[in-house]
Amino acid sequence: MKTRINFYQKTLRVRRDPVPLSAMITLWLGALLIIAITWAFYSYKTYSSELDLEQKKKYLKQGKAQLEVVKQQLAEKQNKTIFINELKTLQQEVLHKQQIFSYLEQSSDQSATDYAQVMQDLAKYHEPNIWLTHIKFVGQSVTFQGQVSQSKFLPMWFNNLKQSPFFIDKEFSVLELSTKDGLSEFNVATDLADKGAKP
């Protein structure tokens, strides 16, 4: 038996909101947070890509500059005509200098040796009646100028000189003789080169 009567109809009851305001606010805040995080991530990736692109552009620019330098150096190395001409010029200068030094060295050695030997032989085979006034070396020849009291002493002096180590087997090729103030002036030359030993 009913003891209560329910006058609160079902249509009048409070209905439960499937999406309450707090849940809606939480959902929107979550969505905004996700959007912010996504935007920040893509912004960072974009910034990193721009930095990387700038760095690569810089490296590319440096690489092009180095490539131009290498090309220029290669072109200079391939153009060897100037260097070959300079090398030939230097080689010719060195060759000429070597020839000059060799000639001067031989001339100096030969002149010093010949002069010393001639002086020694003249001192050893001195003729009292003959006075030498001038000695001249020309190439491989030596010229004597002097005076003699009598011309007969000249052949004797020549024969004595031919016995010396230096004048042995050498011929007196030129002889000029003149008389002045009672003295005979002579001019005689000889070849310094050895003619070979007599048989």
pLDDT for 134-186, tens place per residue? 888 776 677 888 888 887 888 888 888 888 877 777 777 767 778 877 778 88
What average pLDDT score do residues 119-128 get? 82
* 163 contact partners, CB below 8 Å, separation of at least 6: 125
Q: Order of strands across the sheet with 130-138? A: 130-138, 141-148, 183-191, 172-180
Which domain, by its residues, includes 147? 111-191
In a domain, 17, yes or no: no
Please count the structural domains in the chain.
1
Which residue, 150, 142, 148, is CA-closest to 171? 142
CATH code of the domain containing 149: 3.30.1360.100
Q: Is residue 171 part of a domain?
A: yes
More confident residue, 136 or 52: 52
Q: Sorting pLDDT into bands at 50, 70 and 90, what band is 33?
A: very high
Residue 132 CB coordination number (10 Å): 14
| pLDDT at residue 122 tops 70 | yes
pLDDT at 198: 37
Q: How many angstroms separate the first and last alpha carbons of the chain?
A: 183
pLDDT, averaged across the chain: 78
Residue 28 resides in a domain: no
Q: Is the pLDDT of residue 15 over 80?
A: no
Residue 8's pLDDT is what? 61
Q: 188 phi and psi, to 5 degrees?
A: -130, 145
**Of 29-33, 82-86, 94-98, 154-158, which has the strongest mean pLDDT?**
29-33
Answer yes or no: is pLDDT of 2 > 80.
Answer: no
In a domain, 129, yes or no: yes
**Least confident span in 100-104, 111-115, 156-160:** 111-115
Structure tokens at 46: 């974009």
In a domain, 124, yes or no: yes
> Is residue 41 pLDDT above 50, yes or no?
yes
Residue 190: phi and psi, rounded to 5, are: -140, 155
| 161 located within any domain | yes
Q: What is the pLDDT, as a whole number, of residue 197?
A: 37
User: Does the residue 156 lie in any domain?
Assistant: yes
* pLDDT top residue among 164 and 66: 66
Say whether pLDDT at 65 is over 60: yes
Asked if the model's pLDDT at residue 80 lies above 80, the reply is: no
Residue 157: inside a domain = yes
Residue 122: name the closest of 170, 130, 151, 109 by CA: 130
Of 108, 115, 120, 109, nearest to 136 by C-alpha is: 115
